[in-house]
Amino acid sequence: MIGIIDYGMGNLYSVSKALERLGYDYFVSEDEQELSKATGLLLPGVGSFRDAMAILTETGLKAFIEKEVEAGKPLLGICLGMQLLFEESDENGYAEGFSFLPGKVKRFPGQDSLGNAYKVPHMGWNKLVIEQPESFLMNDVGEEHVYFVHSYYVDTNDRDVLIATADYAEEVPAVVGKGKVFGTQFHPEKSSHAGLEILKNYAQYIEGNDA
């Protein structure tokens, strides 16, 4: 069963409804004892990286998530939740992330290498470029369009964590993962077939992990 972590900065309703439509068991909680009973965790997120990490630290959920991941429990971060998996961010001042994955969260500069301006935030549908077709998250997912809403992106030198990317003036990590920690920069619950397939694949992975 998937435990959706409620720390006050996640789009809980749409993620919950997506899992409900797919027919997978889940619950939403901020309680560590209850969340510890989940077979896998889901960390949604909207808003500021720094604020999110402050709340997670103050509530004890940061230490809890670190302990669960260290013990081998799967974790999927969505949007801001994905960015929190990385080492640091300069959003609203420097803040440290979980450091489960290598990389830094940076603001889109709004200008490409040729000096051409582009809109920030990155908002709308962009095509996935699949880097690791063998990843279970990509089962039955092609190079489809998914829905992004973000002003900050992950800059990483480790291509091994890139499961899929997208192009928005530059390469943007779209699906990431290492070990049992995964993330999507886009909102899978709002991304039609591809997004729902990714959620389904994660839910099936959770069921297999429980076997």
Catalogue the active-site residues: 79, 187, 189
Q: Is 185 in contact with 7 (CB distance < 8 Å)?
A: no
CA distances 178 to 3, 69, 94, Å, are: 20, 11, 24
Secondary element (H or E) of residue 58: helix 49-59
In this structure, what token pair is assigned to residue 75? 């974790």
Question: Residue 99, SS3?
Answer: coil
CA distances 54 to 28, 67, 96, 190, Å, are: 20, 18, 10, 27
Q: Is 35 in contact with 29 (CB distance < 8 Å)?
A: yes
